[in-house]
Chains A and B, each alone.
Chain A
Amino acid sequence: MICLALAVDAKSLVKQFGSVRALDNLSFTVKPGEIYGLIGPNGAGKTTTLRSICTLILPSSGKLDIFGLDVVSQASEVRKILSYLPEESGAYPNLTGYEYLEFMAKFNQKADRDVKSMVNEAVELCGLGSRLKDKAKTYSKGMKRRLLIARALMTHPKLAVLDEPASGLDVLQAYNVREIIKRYVKTYGVTVILSSHNMLEVEYLCDRVSFINKGKIVIEGNPRELKTNYNSENLEEVFAKVAGYV
């Protein structure tokens, strides 16, 4: 029954922080197996949306279901089926990369064999090799991000929530991270919802994208269709037109 449900079903979400309305009647859906992108300027409500999906913050009003599970009343169930990669997240500086993966895997698996198998998969995914024996504080930004992406995907979540997955990485590192995501989604049919400022990344990865501004979805659709509809060469131009800059 759960499998038939939408991966994400957000209806009239409102999130109020004091006098600031971060989400303003936000509604959207994500289908299972889809890669869905959230795009928008800083402070538009992307991270608030992702945090609401991940049960970190409660919507002030509206309804948000993840694979048919309510994020408010079934938060602990939701946490079992999703994995969150926050923007600029880090690892514990005094744990080695391997210890960090093991620490996180133990929340998802009980048997030592299963933990080991999960960690081994992450080792493959991140490609950090022997550097996993070093403490995380010695890692470069790119290495840390690869470790964290491997951590987010190793649990085979039904929904992976990735906030700026290639944030702050150089061209090659970003390319590498995008390849990991693309390959993983194809292999395991994971649903992904991601936010990004990088239009190339969004266009390359996402089946559908939505443009959020001031807590509302302004436009939504398939990247190719959006470019055609707005007679634009790329998504950047589409959103510039939507936002009224062009």
Chain B
Amino acid sequence: MFKGFKTVFIKEIKELIRDPKILVGMILVPLIMLPVMGLVMGYAVTSVEEQSQGSTLVILNNDSDGDWSQTFVTYLSSIMSVQVLSDLSPQQVIDQKLLATYGSTQFIEIPAGFSQNMTLYLEGDHAITTNVNVYGVFQGGGMFSDLGSSEIVAYVNAFNRAIAPDVVLTTHSTIIKDQVQEGIDPATLSMLMLSQSIALPMTVMIMILSSMQIAATSVAMEKEEKTLETLLTSPVDRFAILMGKVSSTVIVAGIAAVTVLIGYSYMIGSITMGIPDTINVDLVTLGLVPSTFGYIMLGISLFVTLLSALALAVIMSSFSENVRSAQALVSYIYPLIFIPSIALMYLDINTLPTAIKAALYAIPFSHPMIASKAVIMGNYTTVIFGIIYVTIFTIIIMYFASKLFSTEKILTAKLMLKKESKKKHNDTN
């Protein structure tokens, strides 16, 4: 029954381990992508923590005459660098760009009556509550973007432990697009926005990967079916051949971009409708749902990115002899799609060091992910920059492709390999 099993098994193993496609899937992804993912997540947590620890904490003390407010400020200044403001409303802090001046993205307000309430509470009137309000700027967010505010809560709790349990309570508010939204907890908001910040990059990643696999077959299929030579010797402009191939992928890119947008808009609608009334967050009222213009910009960003990916796949497949090797070749650029997708799920690009930010901006496939957050925040300049950048990238790719098609290189890469292998074969004989 098992006669010949060993022979077949060994042959199968040889074929599998010699297939570059398998190597990419089995080695490149687990050994490179997963550590990269870990690094990104680790970096995301560290950078948010460092940002909150290293930056100046802005304290808006609207109880500046009170003793307890002074004690609280002294306590906080013993832990971290603080900048104290007074007699301003939270909205005035934003309007006067004071957070930007002190390089911070959050501030804590000690409201008027803080000291009085503290005194009453400590004298035994536990019906009185004393609050501080933590205001955090919502920047589109990443998975760990609310870590900063939780750190302030930890300091308040430490203050409580030193004075009396639960003497100071913390309330949270969020600053969205320079407007103070009282009572909106950044943590709740982050949780709601998280589904968006993960779903779109995931969808775009899958869409780009699958479209590239299809586009990679475009020229490779011509080579595999031996139709390319006939086509290249026909009285047709070679650039027309290339454009014909890429243009057909434009249709695919257009359909894909529209499909993603419909799904994305439906997803956001479902999230908005699904938010329970007990959570006092309305994404539409808060302006955290893309506008029609935002959707259009996001659609264009998706379209040009897909186009660049497809054009790149067509060119890469020109260097392959058959469909299988074309798909394997294309898979070598998967890290350029995986890394920005994963990174932008966890990280807010605005908070990254310049070098990493530049690297992410340089990868054309990052831009739909960047755009998805930017359109929510109304930052259309970033989206337009991305569209222009990716368009230029695509034009450059197309230029090189036209050069490749106009020379014998489209055939000779294969020819040289054949000749070399023949030579090697002859040498061994």
Contacts and interface: CB of A to CB of B under 8 A. Distances in A.
Contacts of B235: 76, 79-80, 107-108
B233 A82 contact: yes
A20 B408 contact: no
Given A22-B419, A79-B235, A89 B230 contact: yes
B233 A54 contact: yes
Interface of A: 17-20, 22, 43, 51, 54-58, 76, 79-80, 82-86, 88-93, 104, 107-108, 148, 151
Given A56-B411, A57-B412, A89-B227, 5 more contacts: A56-B232, A57-B411, A89-B226, A92-B227, A104-B234
Shortest beta-carbon contacts, A-B, top 5: A84-B233, A90-B225, A57-B408, A89-B226, A86-B229
B126 interface: no
Given A18-B419, A43-B422, A84 B229 contact: yes
B227 A56 contact: no
Contacts of A148: 230
* Residue from B234, B416, B422, B423 with most neighbouring chain A CB atoms (10 Å): B234
A20 B419 contact: yes
B415 interface: yes
Contacts of A79: 233-235
Interface in B171-229: 225-227, 229
B151 interface: no
Nearest to B423: A20
Is chain A's binding surface mostly helix, strand, loop or mixed? loop
A83 B407 CA distance: 19
B79 interface: no
Interface in B224-260: 225-227, 229-230, 232-237
A159 to B, nearest CB: 11
A137 B416 CA distance: 29
29 contacts: A17-B412, A18-B420, A20-B419, A20-B422, A43-B422, A51-B229, A54-B229, A54-B233, A56-B229, A56-B411, A57-B411, A58-B407, A58-B408, A76-B235, A76-B237, A79-B235, A83-B233, A84-B229, A84-B233, A85-B230, A86-B230, A89-B226, A89-B230, A90-B225, A92-B225, A104-B234, A107-B234, A107-B236, A151-B230
A84 B225 CA distance: 16
A146 B356 CA distance: 59
A15 to B, nearest CB: 10
Given A57-B412, A107-B234, A17 B229 contact: no
A58 B229 CA distance: 14
